[in-house]
Amino acid sequence: MPIKVQKELPAKEILERENIFVMDESLALHQNIRPIHIAILNLMPLKEETELQLLRSLSNTPLQVEVTFVKVTSHESKNTSMSHLNKFYVEFSEIRNQRFDGMIITGAPVEMMEFEDVDYWRELTEIMDWTNMHVTSVIYLCWAAQAALYHYYGLQKRLLDKKMFGLFWHRVKNRKIPLVRGFDDMFLAPHSRHTEVPIEEIRKVKEITILAESDEAGMFLAMADGGRRIFIMGHPEYDRVTLDGEYHRDLEKNLPIEIPKNYYRDDDPSVKPLLMWRSHANNLYTNWLNYYVYQATPYDLMGTPDFAYVYSQLDKWKPPMNIADDYNFNI
């Protein structure tokens, strides 16, 4: 798929080397189609790294995706240059009157703090409330998922005995829901966090549907409001060496850290990490863009997303009777 980004965004050259079709504004103007507009509120400290990871994740669909990177104004970034932020990011005030097909709100390294003590908490809650009327579907990643569960449903996070760090096995639940179409029964996904929202508390909220969970890592994927809110407790967007970089960073800082689980062959940090989650991560973002953004959004972005209609059309499709019955057939 073509991803539309600004011409000089550093991630553009890297994506092109990976044979991902990236177009800038000049080429996009020649395509007579309406692109899917995705806003990314990037709260991660290494913003250029996160940009690249998320753009990769959005690259496996035939849709044209136009990305707008958003920054908070109530926090000063210490790990990304101001020139980069000023050139490639917009403030919330610049987009608050716009509508978007989808939005991704990233995690942030503030999980040890109380939500209200985070300097941009008030701004973040304003943005979350704004999405209710201006965005078709929102993905909340890692800490942002915990923040959204707290803001919308009052669910408290809790501190873990040790960092949830590495690749963990997850079971797919509610397979007929389009967000997990094409998933295997079990799959690996990265986690890197010190806190969690207890899965038993999430189960008590009738508005939330859990779609994937782990005996060790708890809830990984859930959704609410028919797919308008999607909560991902891990980091499916991570690339091969992200956990490796975090592991060696913490070692250098003399922080308590264990070897990331299921990540290095024979748990040997000197060897190249195994990449074993990319296909399901790509599938997750592709399903989101297709079923919860593209098919649910009116052409002019001014109407109300009709998820009920989309699901009614999807439910009409049945596999041939000689392949499998409707209950057992796995798409």
As annotated, the active-site residues are 142, 235, 237
In order, the DSSP letters of 86-155 are HHHEEEHHHHTT--EEEEEE---S-TTS-GGGSTTHHHHHHHHHHHHHHEEEEEEETHHHHHHHHHHH-P
Q: What is the DSSP letter of 157?
A: P
Query: Residue 124: CB partners within 8 Å, gap ≥ 6?
Result: 41, 43, 72, 105, 118, 147
Cα 175 to Cα 191: distance, rounded to the nearest angstrom: 22
CA 206 remoteness from chain centre: 23
- Residue 80 is classified by DSSP as S
With a CB cutoff of 8 Å and minimum separation 6, the contacts of 54 are 40, 104, 106, 237
DSSP3 helix / strand / coil % (the chain, rounded to 5): 35, 25, 40
- Sign of the alpha-carbon dihedral angle for 31, 33, 34, 35: negative
HSE-CB at 296 with a 13 A cutoff on CA atoms is 28
The pair of structure tokens assigned to 136 is 């078709």
Residue 247 contacts residue 269 (beta carbons within 8 Å): yes
Helix or strand holding residue 231 (H, E): strand 229-232
Dihedral angle of Cα 83, 87, 91, 96, to the nearest 10 degrees: 180
DSSP string, 266-318: GG-TTSPPP--SHHHHHHHHHHIIIIIIITTS-TTS-S---HHHHHHHHHT--
